[in-house]
Structure 1
Amino acid sequence: MGVDVDPKVRDETIVASDAAGVQSAVAQLSTRIAVRDIGSPLALRQRIVGDDRLLLTSFGIDTHLHVESAITGAVAIARRREGDLRTVTNGEEVDAGRPFLLRPGRAESWSREVTADILSVDLPALGAFTGHDESALHFGATHILSPELQRHWDLTIDHVTRVFDDPELLHNPLIRQAAVDAVFAATQHAFDIRSVADRPDTRAGTDAVGRATAFIDAHLADPLSVGDIARAARLSVRGLQNAFARVLDTTPAAYVRGARLAAVRAELVAAEPPQTTVADVARRWGFAHLPRFAQHYRAEFGEQPSETLRRSR
């Protein structure tokens, strides 16, 4: 069966045996790359395959090579198979003996008789996959966080390699997208990629919780969803939940319930019992299930709502 041409797909192999060919080959990995030193005799083979979201480069060279590059609009993840490799990313030397991530910025590498796989992940595509703007992404680790995550990541990369090696699968947009999405998910978890606002070591969480609670207090009588609160806090839903857990040791939903219980209590305290019922006040503040409401109220204030109403003036 024939394979339709997909303009998004890239599949090219480069073989070089001179310095100009090597320079041209490595320039395919980045628009801003420079070969600083190269040995001889030369024998380079490089295959680049993938699409506009993810490119997989299989690279091999039979001599020593020193390159410097500026990584922009993407992150690169490398997996050495054989040979000697030393790499520095933004001034930090990484252990090239296991898969490593090169953050956006300056990278430099020295290799000798090396074969490696290099994944180039498009930042806007990764941001869209995670639900964050690319400028808000934080790359928490240059190495995979645990042996279990590394096993999963290796299996995922082996799977996308098999997909990319099969022309029929490579040119099937649904299969290719599923394989690339799997790489994005495995990479996100393996290297702790998250939104800056989700980071536990910044003040952003505390400030965001302040914005969230102010929004809740101002709209307590209105329908509130976690999404509404997250947008007001300028966080993702996950970031909002993490921030509330870290700062207030609770969830956004529990905070809303507590605030509404306090509003019920204030109204019951000020009520005139003959004209006011617990059910009316509870429903006015969004509590439709009265037995569950009474349980929450007693847990919060140590008494039944009817007791609060009886003591009112």
Structure 2
Amino acid sequence: MLRNQLALEVKEQHKAALWGFVQQALATFSESPETLHQPAVRKVLSDNLLLAMGTMLEEAKPIHSAESISHQGYRRLLSRAREYVLENMSEPLTVLDLCNQLHVSRRTLQNAFHAILGIGPNAWLKRIRLNAVRRELISPWSQSATVKDAAMQWGFWHLGQFATDYQQLFAEKPSLTLHQRMRQWA
């Protein structure tokens, strides 16, 4: 236990990942400071920063808990997570939101997602948000006139990474999705 230590030893890969995240955010916001005016972007950015710091510190400081949830318990936990996300679809939810709502640690949530779905909660939430953007881009009733508007509404602040993730999931660029809507409903 590191109780009386003045410093923590942190793995280089975690420090590098956190520093890369900070540099990427600073570069993005220095080029497009208006993105910080979006509440969803600020929320996702701050939660992702906290998660990156948490990841960095997790291996430096062991977590002692009696959390041993069975496979069935993991299924119930994921069911509750899904219900919460569906009830709050208008919000750009993060892993920290889920942990707070479900009263579990990030490690427990991560273990449950990996055990049941084979992916982490961040990847799952990102897919949900990507699907929400796609619905915005397809819907003729959408208020989003641009890909950027739709992406930022759902908390995506790094538009290049968003476009890459979108294309990986849907096998088309988000601009093509929007163009098809405009052409179909023009």
TM-score by length of 2: 0.57
Q: Which of 222, 247, 269 is residue 91 of structure 2 equivalent to?
A: 222
CA contact 2:99–2:109 (8 Å) conserved in 1: yes
- Counterpart position of 1:294: 163
Q: Does 1:196 align with 2:55?
A: no
CA contact 1:297–1:304 (8 Å) conserved in 2: yes
Q: Structure 1 residues 253, 227: closer, same or farther in 2, change over 3 A?
A: same
Percent identity of paired positions between Structure 1 and Structure 2: 34
- Aligned partners of 2:179 and 2:113: how far apart in 1? 35
Matches within 5 A, 1:293-312: 293-312=162-181
- Aligned partners of 1:255 and 1:212: how far apart in 2? 11
Q: Structure 1 residues 234, 283: closer, same or farther in 2, change over 3 A?
A: same
Q: Which of 82, 92, 102 is residue 213 of structure 1 equivalent to?
A: 82
Q: Structure 1 residues 278, 223: closer, same or farther in 2, change over 3 A?
A: closer
- Aligned partners of 1:263 and 1:271: how far apart in 2? 14
Matches within 5 A, 1:123-272: 194-197=66-69, 201-271=70-140
Q: Which of 137, 150, 154 is residue 285 of structure 1 equivalent to?
A: 154
Q: What is the CA-CA distance between 1:237 and the residue it aligns to?
A: 1.4
> Number of aligned pairs?
120
- Aligned partners of 2:138 and 2:90: how far apart in 1? 18
Quick one: higher RCO (CA 8 Å, sep 6+), 1 or 2?
A: 2
- Aligned partners of 1:293 and 1:283: how far apart in 2? 10
CA contact 1:244–1:251 (8 Å) conserved in 2: yes
CA contact 1:208–1:234 (8 Å) conserved in 2: no
More strand per residue: 1
RMSD between aligned alpha carbons?
2.4
- Aligned partners of 2:141 and 2:90: how far apart in 1? 21
Q: What is the CA-CA distance between 1:258 and the residue it aligns to?
A: 0.5
Q: Structure 1 residues 253, 294: closer, same or farther in 2, change over 3 A?
A: same
- Aligned partners of 1:225 and 1:270: how far apart in 2? 25
More helix per residue: 2
Q: What secondary structure does 2:66 align onto?
A: strand
Indicate the structure (1 or 2) with the bigger Cα radius of gyration. 1
Unaligned runs of 5+ in 1: 1-184
CA contact 2:71–2:115 (8 Å) conserved in 1: no
Q: What is the CA-CA distance between 1:272 and the residue it aligns to?
A: 7.3
TM-score by length of 1: 0.35
Unaligned runs of 5+ in 2: 1-61
- Aligned partners of 1:204 and 1:234: how far apart in 2? 14
CA contact 2:113–2:121 (8 Å) conserved in 1: yes
Runs of 4+ in 1 over 6 A off after TM superposition: none
Deviations 1:182-222 (A, max 9, x none): xxx69x6xxxx73133xxx4411000011012212222332
- Aligned partners of 1:302 and 1:280: how far apart in 2? 21
